[in-house]
């Protein structure tokens, strides 16, 4: 599938909503919570209070932005912000509707079409997501996020050759972005090449060290290679960066249980 890409250059934060960044509900099983020490219970209480405050802040921001767009239904930036707020609140259907309205208000904005496509993909609407990504590319052929999105859809359908081709186009359009390298790693991992896949996941970590997805994927690759200690380290890092990554937490618990 071509030469492996090694990255030596650090780039800025990656602005993605759903390039593999699924937000899952994070629930510690009651049996696990019951064995918390008093000190850890204190930390848990603090975390719960902080989470409540964040949720309240999001709700207030959503209400405020809804007032803005109600006064000007043609204000695309308002719907963009509203969609992002709904997304971070885990209200993906509402996010989709907001992004759709942004596209209606500014139909020539490729970024809005990418956001709408990501929301469609998050809700499992593969055909609609694909169509929206392609519309974004018709508006802006250099949208690496749209190529990434198509690649992720191909991965979900195990269309490995197409996924790799889309990833290469994303690489050409946007350079060495963490989601693109992670996508290439997922293609290789899906084909059973955990060793080369790990190279890409590690590169993605180097580019965007605060993105949980590449640590989760690296943990899966490490586990496939039999490196349980390294896998657990990556999975714990993924969970620390995104407590909502339930699949990372669950896999970490399975690794701990097997030690």
| C-alpha count within 13 angstroms, C-beta hemisphere, residue 175 | 8
Instruction: Please tell me the distance from the alpha carbon of residue 32 to that of residue 47, in angstroms, as a whole number.
Output: 16
Tokens 């009651």 -> residue: 30
Q: What are phi and psi of 176, to 5 degrees?
A: -85, 80
Q: What's this model's pTM, rounded to 2 decimal places?
A: 0.78
Supply the DSSP string of 159-187, one letter for each residue.
Answer: -HHHHHHHHHHHHHHH-S-HHHHHHHHHH
For the chain, what are the domain ranges?
A: 36-140, 142-259
Q: What are phi and psi of 52, to 5 degrees?
A: -65, -40
Supply the Cα-derived Rg of the chain in whole angstroms. 19
CATH architecture of 142-259: Alpha Horseshoe (1.25)
Equal CATH topology for 36-140 and 142-259: yes
Q: CATH topology for 36-140?
A: 1.25.40
pLDDT of the chain along its 259 residues, tens only?
A: 544 444 333 333 334 444 444 444 444 444 554 455 666 555 556 555 655 666 678 888 898 999 989 988 899 999 999 999 999 888 999 999 999 999 999 999 999 999 999 999 999 999 999 999 999 999 999 999 999 999 999 999 999 999 999 999 999 999 999 999 999 999 999 999 999 999 999 999 999 999 999 999 999 999 999 999 999 999 999 999 988 788 999 999 999 887 5
pLDDT at 5: 46
Query: What tokens appear for 202 in the block?
Result: 């590690």
Minimal CA–CA distance to 153: which of 143, 163, 138? 163
pLDDT at 42: 59
């Amino acid at each position: 599938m071509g030469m492996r890409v090694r990255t030596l250059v650090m780039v800025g934060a990656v602005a993605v909503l759903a390039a593999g960044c699924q937000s899952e509900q994070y629930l510690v099983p009651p049996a696990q919570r019951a064995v918390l020490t008093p000190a850890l219970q204190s930390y848990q209480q603090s975390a719960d209070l902080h989470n409540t405050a964040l949720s309240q802040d999001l709700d207030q921001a959503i209400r405020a932005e809804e007032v803005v767009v109600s006064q000007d239904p043609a204000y695309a930036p308002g719907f963009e912000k509203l969609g992002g707020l709904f997304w971070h609140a885990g209200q993906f259907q509402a996010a989709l509707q907001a992004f759709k309205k942004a596209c209606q208000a500014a139909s020539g904005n490729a970024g809005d079409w990418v956001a709408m496509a990501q929301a469609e993909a998050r809700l499992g609407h593969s055909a609609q997501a694909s169509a929206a990504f392609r519309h974004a590319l018709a508006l802006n052929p250099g949208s690496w996020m749209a190529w990434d999105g198509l690649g992720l859809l191909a991965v979900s359908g195990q269309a490995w050759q197409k996924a790799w081709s889309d990833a290469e186009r994303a690489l050409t359009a946007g350079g060495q972005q963490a989601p693109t390298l992670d996508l290439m790693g997922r293609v290789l991992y899906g084909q059973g090449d955990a060793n080369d896949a790990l190279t890409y996941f590690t590169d993605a970590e180097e580019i965007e060290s605060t993105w949980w997805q590449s640590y989760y994927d690296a943990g899966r690759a490490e586990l496939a290679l039999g490196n349980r200690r390294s896998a657990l380290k990556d999975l714990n890092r993924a969970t620390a960066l995104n407590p909502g990554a339930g699949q990372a937490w669950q896999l970490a618990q399975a690794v701990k249980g097997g030690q």
